[in-house]
Chains A and B, each alone.
Chain A
Amino acid sequence: MGKQLHGNICEEHLFSSIFKKYSKDLHDFLYYKFGELLNPKDKVQEAFIKLWENCTKISPDKAKSFLFTTANNLMLNEAAHQKVVLKYQQNKPKLSTNESPEFLMQETEYNDKLQKALANLTEAQRVAFLMNRVEGKRFKEIAVLLDISTKAVEKRIYGALEKLRKDIKEL
């Protein structure tokens, strides 16, 4: 962050730079934790608007944890009454169709299993694991985002991997 630490979030340029820095991570975090149905994009918007409303009270170095906590709470308020819906976007666009139909079928089958297995992970495991595997984040970056130690991130990700492999074999 460097110089930004000394500013006030009420200044638009600082607010925008905080938005650029965290909004995607926040969105991904919410997406992997709660799934798509609860509108992670809207929650990101709401969290940032709340940050703006409280801009005099929150110092820039507290902004990240404020955003993650607020967005998480917004999600929990909505998720409280329903079982978390986990529906992952399943089809990546297929450009080439020269694969054999058998292979395509196997792949669909495999993805089905994977989806079920992912739903079986704990929220903490799934967030850390998918941020690492899909978003390509290093352990250290995830640790900073989630405010936990690198060791804890390592544990969650490795735990998630083992559990996934076991579940896929059993399914």
Chain B
Amino acid sequence: MNREELILKWLDNNLTEQELEAFKNLEDYDELVTLNSGLQAFKAGDYNTEQELEKVMQVVKTRKKTPANLLKPLLRIAAVLAICFGVYYYTTTLNTTVATEFAQKTTIELPDASHVSLNAKSVLVYNKSDWKDHREVELEGEAFFKVAKGSSFKVNTSAGYVTVYGTQFNVKQRDHYFEVICYEGLVGVTYNSHETKLKPGDSFLIIDGKTIAKEKENRSEPSWLNNASSFTSVPYKMVVEEFERQYNVDITLLGIDSSQLFTGSFTHDNMDVALKSITLPLHVTYSKTDHSITLKRE
């Protein structure tokens, strides 16, 4: 048994009698014993367990467990659920919005294969997830609908709403102007809570709050789908406004009666030709700079 082992055993109070003898014969025995007795002076201060326990218990008794311990995890779960539900609700009820700018047209396919063509400067809003239960769109501007057969299809506008089953029709809602033309099937237009039924070829037109009678429409779809706008006895200012939307220009009228009726059409593809078509019949001259056109009586 070597010296280090002996010392270790001594430290661990694990010496046998024999080993103790051997340990006592070590040359460092005296030194170790002196050191050991010297160390005893460094003993930690008295510690009275009972007394200390009493102190702790006094503090502990004034601080009984709070019920918050039970409530906290429940609140956490509730918060997570609330967030999940909120996200789910938000994403599923989120509306789809399609908007067109000046001189822009687009075609939208709705979830049930109904088609909507959107004319310039118009907005269409619908809800994908809710589509099965409510075929409903919001429209601001002008659009042509080809509605697939199914439950009622509703178009809401600020002027009135249109309910249909499976059909083709055009809705135009502009400032002081609300027009619905039915091309196929049956369309119900509700304006000022009064419903008007339109058969194919019938149209419903409100200008400045007045119903305007119109002759039968014999085209199978609105002219704007073929890049032309046509008008039958429409106040001239409405024609000009439509022109502005199609070409993104500002038009100023000088000495022209903007309420006179206009019948005719203009194309969306060539501004000069279009300008001629709306000015020549009324004997009006025009001058144009970049984005503004002035119309003047001859």
Contact = CB atoms under 8 A, between A and B. Distances in A.
Interface of A: 10, 12, 15-16, 19-20, 23-24, 27-28, 31-32, 36, 40-41, 44-45, 48-49, 52-53, 55-56, 88-92, 107, 110-111, 114-115, 118, 130, 132-136, 138-139, 154, 157-158, 161, 164-165, 168
Contacts of A134: 39-40, 42-44
B4 interface: yes
A20 B42 contact: no
A157 B39 contact: no
B21 interface: no
A45 B52 contact: yes
B7 interface: yes
A55 B11 contact: no
Given A89-B44, A91-B41, 17 more contacts: A10-B65, A24-B47, A36-B45, A41-B52, A49-B59, A49-B60, A49-B63, A52-B56, A56-B69, A114-B35, A114-B41, A114-B42, A130-B39, A132-B12, A136-B13, A139-B11, A165-B35
B26 to A, nearest CB: 13
Interface residues of B, number: 32
Q: Which 9 A-B pairs have the closest CB atoms?
A: A31-B44, A88-B42, A52-B60, A28-B44, A27-B47, A48-B56, A133-B39, A139-B12, A134-B43
Contacts, number: 109
A28 B56 contact: no
Interface in B67-87: 69
B63 A52 contact: yes
B42 A55 contact: no
B47 A161 contact: no
Interface in B7-36: 7-8, 11-14, 28, 31, 34-36
Contact of B60 (A15, A27, A132): A15
Main secondary structure of the interface of B (DSSP, over half): helix
A89 B43 contact: yes
Given A23-B52, A41-B47, A158 B41 contact: no
Given A114-B42, A134-B42, A158 B4 contact: yes
Contacts of A24: 47, 49
23 contacts: A23-B47, A28-B44, A36-B45, A45-B52, A52-B60, A88-B42, A89-B42, A89-B45, A91-B41, A92-B43, A107-B38, A114-B35, A114-B39, A114-B41, A132-B11, A134-B42, A138-B12, A138-B13, A158-B4, A158-B8, A161-B11, A165-B31, A165-B35
B45 A45 contact: no
A41 B53 CA distance: 11
